[in-house]
Structure 1
Amino acid sequence: MAVRVGVLVDVPPPWRDVLHRHRVAAGDALAAEVPPHLTLLPPARLPAEALDALDAHLAGVAARTAPFTLRLAGTGTFRPVTDVVYVRVADGDRHARALAGAVAAFAALEPESAYPYHPHVTVAHQVPPAALDAAAAALAAFAAAFPVTGFALYVQDAGGAWRPRRDYGLAG
């Protein structure tokens, strides 16, 4: 049996609240379920019996990784490939990519995404074009900076909801 997992960095308050309000205003159906975050590992399948080994792998990654600052500024989009508007990572990109690479190095993961990793914080996904445009315009001047001191493993439950399984503090 396989489980679906994802790994992310939570956006802290007060920026989390601002980004959440914009995602709700855009009409994004996932706004109620998915808090604003920087994805390190998009949804991936994993044999259920490998979950404890993934946990140990992530603990090791966290132990070897130093905290870093993430700065968000302005918006971008993946259109026309996918209907997504996001807040851009303006600084900390190199650290986020290295951390994402270390997380994804666990051999038993079966990634579901065919796209290359691109650090970002989604603010509108699969909504009408006008809502995408409005979200991009509303957050064009958005700026935030915060320390990344950890990340979290999420597991999708039988009902399809994403549930946090464990937090990992960066200690390298």
Structure 2
Amino acid sequence: MGTVTLGVSIAVPEPYGSQLQGLRAGFGDAAAHGIPTHVTLVPPTEVEADRLPGIRAHLAEVAGAFRSFPMRLEGTGTFRPLSPVVYVRLVEGAPDCTRLQGRVRDPEGPVNRELAFPYHPHVTVAHGISEEAMDRAYAELADYAADWLCEGFALYEQGSDGVWRKLREYPFGTGPAPVPAQSAPAADTAAGAAARHS
């Protein structure tokens, strides 16, 4: 049957999603229009197409056992020089995202891929563009803020044209009460993220 490239993420809702996508394109990131604004739970992962039913069942089970939680974006960060990325920081909801992605990537489950870097929830606004353009993204979004109630996540597939398309949404159920909300400390490096999530 061949393979498909999948990703699992939390969509940034409107109007914020389109705002940030437009800004990302404006900074010169050619990939912006093919990537809905999101917080990654599982990065691009190539799997055999016949594994899709099992993956869908697993995601439905994980979502059903989770509860909605507040999310807030505020300010910017960067993974440079380790990785050419500028992002908007997730200052509320990060512990919930971390716990959620751990359940999605359960080593006993069908999405048990390893990560190249320690998990650090964020919203990318510039990737792989000029240093000058990344500096501009970092500065122009320094005062950006948005908040919403996260009520689920979605499964996406990357097409041959490089565009990510939603396959299915997975709304949360009525799982255990979430961890009390807390603000994540500022960290502009993957090392800082590793320290927080180790």
Could you state the TM-score of these two structures normalised by the residue count of structure 2? 0.82
Say which of 120, 135, 138 aligns to 2:137.
Answer: 135
- Report the count of equivalent residues: 172
Say which of 163, 166, 189 aligns to 1:164.
Answer: 166
Q: Is the 8 A contact 2:34 2:162 kept in 1?
A: no
Letter in structure 1 aligned against 2:41 = L
Deviation by residue 1:27-76 (Cα, 9 ceiling, x = unmatched): 10111111111111111122211110000000001100000000111000
CA–CA distance in structure 2, aligned partners of residues 58 and 12 of structure 1? 20
Shift of 1:21: 2.1
Q: 1:96 to 1:110 in 2, by over 3 A?
A: closer
Could you state the TM-score of these two structures normalised by the residue count of structure 1? 0.94
Partner-residue secondary structure (3-state), 1:155 = strand
Letter in structure 2 aligned against 1:169 = P
1:104 has 2:105 as partner: yes
CA–CA distance in structure 2, aligned partners of residues 110 and 62 of structure 1? 16
State the match for 1:78 in structure 2: 79
CA–CA distance in structure 2, aligned partners of residues 95 and 112 of structure 1? 19
Point out where structure 1 has 5 or more consecutive residues left out of the alignment. Answer: none
State the match for 1:94 in structure 2: 95
Letter in structure 2 aligned against 1:162 = W
CA–CA distance in structure 2, aligned partners of residues 5 and 145 of structure 1? 27
State the match for 1:61 in structure 2: 62
Q: Is the 8 A contact 1:76 1:87 kept in 2?
A: yes
Deviation by residue 1:87-131 (Cα, 9 ceiling, x = unmatched): 001011110101111111163336374112110000000100000
State the match for 1:46 in structure 2: 47
Letter in structure 2 aligned against 1:84 = V
Shift of 1:13: 1.4
Letter in structure 2 aligned against 1:117 = Y
1:145-156 matches, within 5 Å, as: 145-156=147-158
CA–CA distance in structure 2, aligned partners of residues 30 and 104 of structure 1? 26
Shift of 1:20: 1.6
Point out where structure 2 has 5 or more consecutive residues left out of the alignment. Answer: 175-198
CA–CA distance in structure 1, aligned partners of residues 114 and 159 of structure 2? 17
Q: Is the 8 A contact 1:45 1:109 kept in 2?
A: no
1:13 has 2:14 as partner: yes
Q: Is the 8 A contact 1:42 1:111 kept in 2?
A: no
RMSD: 1.5
Partner-residue secondary structure (3-state), 1:111 = coil
Letter in structure 1 aligned against 2:135 = D
Partner-residue secondary structure (3-state), 1:32 = helix
State the match for 2:179 in structure 1: none
